[in-house]
Each structure stands twice: as C-alpha cells, then as structure tokens.
C-alpha cells in the first residue's frame, strides 16, 4: 500500500504541492492528470523519495519512505522519468541491465540476464538489444527506459512503479502496448502510478484517475466518476464533449476545436 498523508512541498515561497492525501493498493493502476505545471512530476518525485515533503508523510507498505535506504528503495520502487539523456554509447541491453544493479554485488547472475531479457521482450526492444542506445529514436529510447525500469522490480510484486509520461514520443501502437504492459503489472499486484497527458488513454487503462490543479488534488475516482465536461474544463480550461463508448463503456474525450478568433484573444494577437 502507498499512503500519502497531507503532503505539502514548497521551494522558496512557492507551494508546489498543497495538502495532498490518498492511498493506493497493490493491483491498482492510477493515472495522474493535470495541466502543464499542475505539480504532477513534483508529486512523483515525492512518491519516489527523491524529494522530501515540507510537511506530511509518505509511506510504502506501512513504513515511512524516509526510513528506507537507497538500496531498499531500489528493490521496492522503480521510476521512469521524463529526462533520460544517455550520451555514452551504451548498448540497449546494457541500459536494461542497469535496472538489475541493485540486485547484485560484483557480477550479474543468470537470473538478472533472464529478467532483463524478459523485460526487453515485454517492451518489444529485444530486436535492437545490440544497438547503441544514443542511435535509437526518441520513442525507441523511451521503450528501452521502460524495460530498464521494469527489470528493476520484475520479480517484486507489490513494488511501486512510478511512470512520468511513459508513452511520451511513442506511436499509437506502442502507447497502447505500454499501457497494456503497465496494466498487466498492476494485475500482478504491482502499484502503478502514471502521469499521462492523454485523457483517453487514462480512461482506457486506469482503474482510477487523480486530477491535479495548482498543486492540489482536485478529483480522485474511477474514469467514469471523474471524467466529464465540467471536470475537464476545470482542470484544463478547455471545452470538451465526453462520450461513453457503447462497446467498452470507457469514456472518450473530444476537445472542442479552438477557433482562430478565440486563439487571437487568448494570445492577444
Ligand atoms: N525547482 C523548482 N523551482 C521552482 N519552481 C519549480 C521547480 N520545480 C518545479 N517548479 C514549478 O512547479 C510547478 C509544477 O511543476 P511540475 O514539473 O510538477 O509540473 P507538471 O504538472 O509535471 O507539468 P508538465 O505537465 O508540464 O510536465 C511548475 O510551475 C514548475 O515551474
């Protein structure tokens, strides 16, 4: 269980997170939505233990996050960040093996190679395992980073998967496949938290959506509970229709087109 209690975080005089509370059970797939600058990545950094809250607390499996050693944390949670710049010519398989570093001391065991291989197969990157990572396209690099992150906790059900825009730069097939992988990890009792910009993907794959605005948790519920024209307008300041797909019963969000006249006004052209 991941438990967040009254978390507040500030830098200087600016409060980036305000009084955030929620808990997430193993097996839940949660999407975090919100406009640019709402505080989604900042929240993920608090959940990963990278940043410490100003007040409030975060606990994982009943233990305060700040009592975990770095090694213990590496066994219990994995993070996919937005910045994954690797300029040295590491091979793809070496990047994925980096996910196994916390699990061995001197040299990897057969099990580590096997898990890295499985993670590469799950993310569809095994075909370029021998390629130099910097030569891959942006979407391919993102899939390799996902394989690395999954390899880190592959055999640790109940571990926390923190994914900051996991489908950024991916084509539509890999977006769907990536979220399907994350959902299957949730079904294996991992705790999956993903920041997403695509509300339709969140509606398709998440069990639950947390919507953030100006550093606060604004809505928290199932896609059917929280996705409607009013909430979409409140969070993103855009008019949208929200339909229910009759065959899947999932929500479909269709933003209204912004006219040149509206844009002219908002951009003061
Ligand atoms: N170190 C920092 N110093 C000052 N302001 C910061 C710092 N880090 C983040 N912020 C500000 O805090 C706010 C929240 O940032 P955050 O990266 O969490 O947003 P986000 O919801 O992830 O946005 P995006 O969708 O654009 O990725 C932003 O206004 C950002 O400029």
Given pLDDT bands bounded at 50, 70 and 90, which one contains residue 268? low
CA of 54 to the centre of ligand 1 (A): 16
The closest alpha carbon to 170, from 202, 151, 188, 143, belongs to: 143
Task: Indicate the pLDDT class of residue 235, thresholds 50, 70 and 90.
Answer: very high
Between CA 164 and CA 41 the distance in angstroms is 7
pLDDT of residue 265: 66
Q: What is the pLDDT of residues 33-66, one digit of tens each?
A: 999 999 999 999 999 999 999 999 999 999 999 9
Does ligand 1 have an atom closer than 6 angstroms to the CB of 37?
Answer: yes
Residue 141 to residue 31: CA distance in whole angstroms:
22
The answer, yes or no, to whether residue 137 has pLDDT greater than 80, is yes
Q: What is the ipTM of this complex?
A: 0.97
- Strand ordering across the sheet containing 2-11: 14-24, 2-11, 55-60, 63-64
- Ligand 1 centroid – CA 40 distance (Å): 8
Kindly report, residue by residue over 157-214, the tens digit of the pLDDT: 899 999 999 998 889 998 999 999 999 999 999 999 999 999 999 999 999 999 999 9
With b for 16 or more beta-carbon neighbours within 10 A and e for fewer, the 228-245 pattern comes to eeebbeebbeeebebeee
Prediction pTM value: 0.93
Q: Is it the case that residue 269 has pLDDT exceeding 80? A: no
Which strands sit side by side in the sheet containing 160-164, from one edge to the other? 77-80, 160-164, 191-195, 29-34, 208-213, 216-221
* pLDDT of residue 264 exceeding 70: no
For 100-129, write each residue's pLDDT tens digit.
999 998 899 999 999 999 999 999 999 999
Q: How far is the CA of 230 from the centre of ligand 1 (A)?
A: 25
Q: Residue 22's beta-bridge partner residues? A: 4
Ligand 1 centroid to Cα of residue 192, in Å, is 22
- The mean predicted confidence, pLDDT, of the chain is 94
Nearest residue (by CA) to ligand 1, atom 9, is 42
- Closest ligand 1 atom to the C-alpha of 45? 18
pLDDT attached to residue 164: 95
List Cα–Cα distances, 21 to 55, 59, 61, 64, 256, in angstroms: 12, 11, 16, 14, 32
**CB of 213 sitting under 6 A from ligand 1:** no
Q: Are 7 and 20 in contact (CB under 8 A)?
A: yes
State yes or no: pLDDT of 266 exceeds 70. Answer: no
- 212 Cα nearest atom in ligand 1: 21
**Any ligand 1 atom below 6 A from CB of 223:** no
Ordered domains of the chain (ranges, CATH): 2-267 (3.40.50.300)
Give yes or no for residue 144 having a pLDDT over 90: yes
Cα 15 to chain centroid, rounded: 22
Instruction: Tell me the CA–centroid distance for residue 39 and ligand 1, in Å.
Output: 6
Pocket mutation for ligand 1, best pick of 12, 31, 40, 194 (most atoms within 8 Å of C-beta): 40
pLDDT tens digit sequence for 71-83: 999 999 999 987 7
User: What does DSSP say about strands 29-34 and 208-213: parallel, antiparallel, or unpaired?
Assistant: parallel
3-state helix, strand, coil in the chain (%, to 5): 40, 25, 35
Whether 1 and 26 have beta carbons less than 8 Å apart is answered as yes
Is 38 near ligand 1, meaning CB less than 6 Å away?
yes
Q: Which of 77, 131, 125, 75 is nearest to 100 (CA)?
A: 75
pLDDT of 128? 92
Is the Cβ atom of 36 under 6 angstroms away from ligand 1?
A: yes
pLDDT at 130 over 90: yes
What tokens does 72 get? 């213990």
């Amino acid at each position: 269980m991941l438990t967040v209690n009254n978390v507040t975080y500030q830098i200087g005089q600016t409060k980036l997170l305000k009084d955030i509370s929620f808990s997430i059970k193993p097996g839940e797939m949660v999407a975090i939505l919100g406009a640019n600058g709402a505080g989604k990545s900042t929240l993920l950094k608090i959940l990963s233990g990278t940043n410490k809250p100003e007040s409030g607390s975060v606990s994982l499996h009943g233990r305060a996050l700040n009592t975990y050693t770095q090694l213990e944390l590496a066994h219990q949670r994995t993070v996919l960040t937005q910045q994954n710049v690797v300029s040295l010519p590491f091979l793809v398989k070496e990047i994925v093996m980096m996910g196994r570093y916390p699990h061995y001391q001197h040299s990897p065991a057969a099990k580590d190679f096997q898990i890295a291989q499985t993670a590469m197969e799950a993310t569809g990157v095994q075909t370029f395992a021998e390629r130099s990572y910097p030569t891959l396209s942006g979407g391919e690099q993102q899939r390799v980073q996902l394989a690395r992150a999954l390899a880190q906790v592959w055999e640790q059900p109940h571990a926390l998967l923190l994914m900051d825009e996991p489908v950024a730069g991916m084509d539509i097939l890999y977006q769907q496949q990536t979220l399907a992988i994350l959902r299957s990890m949730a079904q294996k009792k991992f705790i999956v938290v993903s920041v997403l910009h695509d509300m339709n993907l969140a509606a398709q794959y998440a069990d639950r959506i947390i919507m953030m605005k100006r550093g606060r948790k604004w809505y928290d519920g199932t896609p059917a509970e929280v996705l409607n024209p009013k909430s979409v307008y409140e969070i993103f300041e855009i008019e949208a229709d929200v339909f229910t797909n009759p065959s899947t019963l999932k929500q479909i969000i269709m933003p209204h087109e912004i006219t040149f006249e509206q844009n002219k006004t908002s951009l003061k052209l």
